[in-house]
Amino acid sequence: MASPNGSVEICGLRERADFMGNIWLALGLTIFAGMATSVGSAIAFFAKRTNYRFLSIATGFSAGVMLYVSFVEIFVKGTDSLVAAYGDYWGHWINVASFFAGIALIGIIDNLIPSAENPHETHTLEETEPLHDDSAPMPDFDEIAAHPEEADPGAHDHRVADSKLLRMGLFTALAIAIHNFPEGLATFLAALEDPSVGLAIAIAIALHNIPEGISVSVPIFYATGDRRKAFIYSSLSGIAEPVGAILAYFALRFFLGGESGVIPPQIMGMLFGGVAGIMVYISLDELLPTSRAYGKGHDSLFGLLAGMAVMALSLLLMK
């Protein structure tokens, strides 16, 4: 007959094994989301024509997924954990405080590390064609610079070998990398608690990262004339998401985890409130404006509603 201590030890080992399995899954989803910047860069360099309407609907879809899952799933999970730990009154207060703390965190990052230029700005077909076609004529950037009011919508002054332009591209890549830290944390923590929710968030953030990959690639290419360098720098900006997730996990485990390394449920509850706030900020400040910039008519709204509907259906089917 197994002793009570033996049963407890076996249960502890199983809990630890399950937790470690979730960690690897969460890390894999975070890497998938972060490396979508490479997809955006590849589109810029290899696609004959960038489908801006697809980017508009995709980023709107991403916003819909993130907004719906933030308010319907993640915020509620935070409430449940905190109410169980601190009671009905203080549990709700702490969850709301965590939500706005998440918004404050990403807002501070956004203001301290602003992009050199809007990382979601659109580019004309004339600008992007030379990236994938050596025979395509270079746009007349001197003319655009001299008469910007007469330039086509989305046209920018991307003169070759302009050191200021290179700095803009590199600083945009750096700014996106730093902005991606909280996104990596959101994906990682959501997947750690619920892999199905983590998968939805990973897909949403991956869609969000595609236009960022394009936006970093274009100015670096025109500043250096080097496709390979532009692709590498663009891809590196997405690595910040898994790096941020790994650093956050080890910090939480070291400072807050018990002997098993499992983060206490009340701490997870606070983190979920914060993650919901981060994702709402990203959706309203980045995704929806990007979707409007790339799209026409009601493309943004169609994408937003489709994202909410798909997320709602997924959660209903998983009940």
Q: Is residue 308 part of a domain?
A: yes
Given this model, what pLDDT does residue 86 score? 93
- The arithmetic mean of pLDDT across residues 302-317, rounded, is 88
pLDDT confidence of residue 79: 94
Q: Give the global pTM.
A: 0.71
**Where does the pLDDT of residue 67 fall: very low under 50, low under 70, confident under 90, or very high at 90 and above?**
very high
**Residue 283 buriedness (CB in 10 A; 0-12 / 13-18 / 19+):** buried
Within-domain flag for 15: no
pLDDT > 90 fraction of the chain, expressed in percent and rounded: 14
| 59 or 158, higher pLDDT | 59
Instruction: Please tell me which residue, 83 or 240, carries the higher pLDDT value.
Output: 83
In a domain, 1, yes or no: no
- Position 162 pLDDT exceeds 80: no
- Give the pLDDT score at 159: 60
For range 178-204, the mean pLDDT: 80
Determine the residue type at 262. Answer: V
Q: What percent of the chain is modeled with pLDDT above 70? A: 73
102 occurs within a structural domain: yes
pLDDT at 111: 80
**Cβ neighbours of 16 (radius 10 Å):** 14
The whole domain housing 297 covers 21-317
pLDDT beyond 60 at 26? yes
pLDDT at 129 over 60: yes
* pLDDT tier at 234, thresholds 50, 70, 90: confident
Question: What pLDDT, on a 0 to 100 scale, did the predictor assign at position 209?
Answer: 80
Terminal C-alpha separation, the chain: 38
According to the per-residue pLDDT averaged within each range, which of 28-42, 82-96, 202-216, 288-302 is highest? 82-96
- Output the average pLDDT for the chain: 77
Residue 80 above 80 pLDDT?
A: yes
Assess if residue 169 is contained within a domain: yes
Residue 2 is assigned to a structural domain of this protein: no
Is residue 10 a part of any domain in this protein? no
Residues 33 and 206 sit within 8 Å (Cβ to Cβ)? yes
In a domain, 207, yes or no: yes
Q: How many domains does the chain have?
A: 1
Could you tell me the pLDDT band of residue 193, with boundaries at 50, 70 and 90?
confident
pLDDT of residue 165: 58
Q: What is the pLDDT of residues 206-230, one digit of tens each?
A: 887 887 777 777 777 777 777 787 7
Looking at residues 79-103, what average pLDDT do you find? Answer: 94
Q: Is the pLDDT of residue 12 over 60?
A: no
